[in-house]
Amino acid sequence: MRILLCNDDGFQAQGIQTLARALRKAGHDVLMVAPSEERSGQSHAMSFFRPVLVREVERGTWSVHGTPADCAAIALQSLFKANPPDVVVSGINHGLNVGWDVNYSGTVGAATEASLLGHKAIAVSVDLHEAKGPDDVALFFERAADLTVKVVENLAAFPLGSCEVLNINHPGLAPKSLVAAACGGYSMYVPAVSELRPEKTAGENTAGSVVASDATASESGPGSAKVYMLGGNARRSNGDRSQDVTLLLDGHATFSVLSTRQSSTANTEKLGAILPRLV
């Protein structure tokens, strides 16, 4: 099979490199188009109306100075438009993408873009929480890669419709079982917004990254600055065994089919009774 690999951890990341080796060893034609550096949490962001540098860093591997979704779009609409892949696999992500956290995921974002463009798409992630060192990390990625190869080679049997993505999460440790699970009931990670209190005032450099200046930060008022950190590390489960969050934390590998098409809901019909009030 001809397989396109994307991710959000960058083309040099251990996860995507492990998967590429496993797929090539199984005899598949592997193409890699991935960000030049880590672009986690980018969701389906795209670099519209901005130039995006793409460089072939080695035969079959392209580095993209853009988002994960950029990678899928550029690969499918330009680089390989004349000879498209049979399937697009995004990953293996360094960490999980379960529950409503898939909304933030650049890994899922790349797969979503591929699906919207009419291609079969898979997102793959692995839990590294129980890894005790580099050897464990390597083993966890190899396990997830082996499972992904089996999925790719049996993809015709999977019920994937138009604008759908197969979302796979591997526990890292040898899975107790492979389970079909709902996705989106709640978040695995406790969301957090933390205010940092640096001794120096926060500013921005020309690239938009936070840096520190020599001025002392004031508490409030015009010109004051604060620094925040988004994202939580604490993990939780509500015990709902229909959900991927609970099953993954219990040691199972989970499979979910995600809809990639944003569409109206039943409440759209109710708008008709309200809109005349606005005239």
The average pLDDT across 11-19 equals 98
Provide the token pair at 150: 């089996």
Please report whether residue 166 resides in a domain: yes
Of the candidates 206, 147, 149, 203, the residue with the CA atom closest to the CA atom of residue 177: 147
Phi, psi of 197 (to 5 degrees): -125, 75
243 alpha carbon, distance to own chain's centre: 19
Q: How many domains does the chain have?
A: 2
Sign of torsion over alpha carbons 84, 71, 111, 172? positive
Residue written as tokens 């604490």?
234
Q: What is the pLDDT of residues 240-274, one digit of tens each?
A: 888 999 999 999 999 999 999 888 888 998 998 89
Residue 206: domain span? 193-230
Please report whether residue 46 resides in a domain: yes
Q: Each residue of 156-171: b (16+ CB within 10 Å) or e?
A: eeeebeebbbbbbbbb
Share of the chain above pLDDT 90, in %: 71
Looking at the structure, tell me whether residues 77 and 201 fall in a common domain. Answer: no
Reported as a pLDDT band with limits 50, 70 and 90, residue 219 is low
Can you tell me the distance from the alpha carbon of 127 to that of 140, in angstroms, rounded to the nearest whole number?
A: 8
Please report whether residue 273 resides in a domain: no
Looking at the structure, tell me whether residues 150 and 166 fall in a common domain. Answer: yes
Can you tell me the distance from the alpha carbon of 73 to that of 33, in angstroms, rounded to the nearest whole number?
A: 10
CATH code for the domain of 157: 3.40.1210.10
What's the pLDDT score for residue 202? Answer: 46
Looking at the structure, tell me whether residues 138 and 109 fall in a common domain. Answer: yes
- Residues 75 and 107 sit within 8 Å (Cβ to Cβ): no
What's the pLDDT score for residue 208? Answer: 46
Q: Are strands 210-212 and 202-204 parallel, antiparallel or unpaired?
A: antiparallel
Please report whether residue 267 resides in a domain: no
Looking at the structure, tell me whether residues 121 and 223 fall in a common domain. Answer: no
Can you tell me the distance from the alpha carbon of 113 to that of 117, in angstroms, rounded to the nearest whole number?
A: 6
Of the candidates 1, 263, 262, 6, the residue with the CA atom closest to the CA atom of residue 114: 6
Looking at the structure, tell me whether residues 115 and 45 fall in a common domain. Answer: yes
Question: Following DSSP, what letter does each residue of 136-156 receive, concatenated?
Answer: HHHHHHHHHHHHHHHHHHTGG
Phi, psi of 71 (to 5 degrees): -60, -45
Provide the token pair at 75: 């690969």
Residue written as tokens 């974002």?
109
Looking at the structure, tell me whether residues 212 and 95 fall in a common domain. Answer: no
Of the candidates 74, 98, 76, 99, the residue with the CA atom closest to the CA atom of residue 87: 76
Looking at the structure, tell me whether residues 9 and 38 fall in a common domain. Answer: yes
180 bridge partner residues: 255
What's the pLDDT score for residue 102? Answer: 93
Q: What is the pLDDT of residues 81-133, one digit of tens each?
A: 999 999 999 999 999 999 999 999 999 999 999 999 999 999 999 999 999 99
What's the pLDDT score for residue 201? Answer: 45
